[in-house]
Amino acid sequence: MGRIRAKYIKDKEVRFISHLDIVRALERAFRRADIPFVLTEGFNPKPKINFSPPLSLGYISKAEYFDLDVGDDMIPEEFIYRMNNVLPQGIMVIKAISIDEKSKSLNSIIKSSEYNVYYPFPEGVLSGIERFLSDEIMVEKESKKGKKTINIRPLIYSFSKVDEKNICLWLASNSSESVNPVYVVKAFLHFSGFDFEESNAIITRLEQYIDEKKNTPMREGVINEPINN
Partner 1 sequence: MLKDRILNEILPCVEKPARYIGNELNSVHKQYMDGMVRFVFAFPDIYEIGMSHLGIKILYHLLNEREDTVCERVFAPWVDMEKIMRKEGIPLFSLESMTPVRDFDFVGFTLQYEMSYTNILNMLDLAGIPINAAERSESSPLVIAGGPCAYNPEPLAQFVDFFVMGEGEEVINEIIDTYKDCKDKGLSRKEILHCMAHIDGVYVPSLYIMTYNEDGTVKNVKPVDVDLPLKIKKRVIKDMNNSYYPEKMIVPYLQTVHDRIMLEIFRGCTRGCRFCQAGMIYRPVRERSWENLLELARKLVSSTGYDEISLVSLSSCDYTFLEELIYSLIDEFKGKGVGISLPSLRIDAAYVDIFNKIEEVRKSGITFAPEAGSQRLRDVINKNVTEEDLMNAVFSAFKFGWRTIKLYFMIGLPTETDEDLDGIAELGERVLQVYKEVNGNLKGLTVTMSASSFVPKPHTPFQWEAQDSMEELYRKQLLIKSKIRGHALRFTYHDVRLSFLEAVISRGDRRVSMVIKKAWEKGCRFDSWNECFNFETWMDAFKETGIDPAFYANRKREENEVFPWDHIDVGVTKEFLKRERRRAYEGKSTFDCRKFCIKCGIQDFEEGLKCYGQN
Interface residue list for partner 1 (CB under 8 A): 12-14, 16-18, 20-22, 24-25, 27-33, 39, 43-47, 57-58, 86, 88-90, 198-199, 202
| CA dist., res. 186 & res. 136, Å (int) | 15
Rounded alpha-carbon distances, angstroms, from residue 225 to 17, 88, 142, 218: 31, 28, 38, 8
**Residue with Cβ nearer partner 1 (18 or 224):** 18
**Closest distance to partner 1 from the beta carbon of 144 (Å):** 20
Q: Which is nearer to partner 1, 82 or 111 (CB)?
A: 82
- For residue 158, which of 174, 173, 169, 145 has the smallest C-alpha distance? 169
What's the min distance (Å) between Cβ of 38 and partner 1? Answer: 10
Other C-beta atoms lying within 10 Å of the C-beta of residue 53: 17
Amino acid 38 reads V
In whole angstroms, the minimum distance from the beta carbon of 168 to partner 1 comes to 21
Least CB distance to partner 1 at residue 139 (A): 21
Question: Which CB, 86 or 223, lies closer to partner 1?
Answer: 86
Closest separation between CB of residue 176 and partner 1, Å?
29
Cα 206 to Cα 106: distance, rounded to the nearest angstrom = 17
The residue among 45 and 128 lying less far from partner 1, judged by its C-beta, is 45
**Least distance from C-beta 11 to partner 1, angstroms?**
11
CB nearer partner 1, residue 33 or residue 117: 33
Using DSSP, state whether 27 is helix, strand or coil.
helix
Half-sphere CA count of 165, side-chain side, radius 13 A = 7
Considering the complex, state which of residue 13 and residue 225 has its C-beta at the smaller distance from partner 1.
13
Nearest to 112 by CA among 191, 168, 185: 168
Alpha-carbon distance 180 to 188, whole Å? Answer: 13
Determine contact, residues 169/179, Cβ cutoff 8 Å. Answer: no
Helices of type H across 99-224: 106-109, 129-133, 181-191
